C-alpha cells in the first residue's frame, strides 16, 4: 500500500496543507463541485508528467496543484515517490486483468509489477484482489 505523507506548503502567504500526497498523485483530475474557472495542474500517471486542467474552484481531490512546479515537486520527485526510480521490469502488465469485483475501476500501473485500481476517486485495490 502506498504510504501517504503530509506535506505542508506555504503559498501566497496562506498555509495549504496537502494530505495523502503520494496517494493523491495517482488520482484522476477532478473539476470539483463548483462552476468557477481556476487553472490548476494534476499529475497524469499515464504520461508521467504534470498537465493543466480547469478546476471549478471547490471540492475535487488532492491531485490539484496551483503550479506545475508544485505538482512536479510533490508527485514527480523521486525523493517523495521512490516508485519513480525502482527500475523493476515486469514481464506481465499488472493491468492486463480487470478488477473482478468492480469492473468499472481504472487500473494504474505503479513500479514494476504493482498496480492499483481507482473507482470514483477511491483506491479500491483491496477489493480487487482474488
* Residue 108 cell numbers, joined: 494504474
Mean pLDDT by groups of 10 residues along the chain of 130 residues: 32 32 80 95 88 96 93 76 52 77 85 77 82
* Per-domain residue ranges of the chain: 7-83, 86-128
Model-level pTM greater than 0.95?
no
- pLDDT of 47 reads 83
In this structure, are residues 86 and 72 in contact, taking their beta carbons and an 8 Å threshold? Answer: no
List, in order, residues 6 or more apart from 104 with CB less than 8 Å away.
Answer: 119
What is the CATH code of the structural domain delimited by 7-83? 4.10.410.10
Amino acid at each position: 500500500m502506498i504510504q501517504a505523507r503530509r506535506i505542508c506548503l506555504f503559498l501566497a502567504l496562506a498555509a495549504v496543507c496537502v494530505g495523502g500526497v503520494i496517494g493523491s498523485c495517482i488520482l484522476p483530475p477532478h473539476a470539483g463541485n463548483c462552476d468557477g474557472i481556476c487553472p490548476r495542474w494534476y499529475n497524469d500517471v499515464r504520461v508521467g508528467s504534470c498537465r493543466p486542467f480547469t478546476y471549478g474552484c471547490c471540492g475535487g481531490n488532492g491531485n490539484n496543484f496551483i503550479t506545475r512546479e508544485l505538482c512536479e515537486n510533490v508527485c514527480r520527485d523521486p525523493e517523495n515517490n521512490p516508485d519513480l526510480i525502482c527500475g523493476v521490469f515486469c514481464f506481465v502488465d499488472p493491468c492486463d486483468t480487470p478488477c473482478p469485483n468492480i469492473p468499472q475501476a481504472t487500473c494504474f500501473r505503479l513500479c514494476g509489477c504493482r498496480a492499483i485500481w481507482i473507482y470514483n476517486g477511491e483506491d479500491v485495490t483491496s477489493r480487487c484482489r482474488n
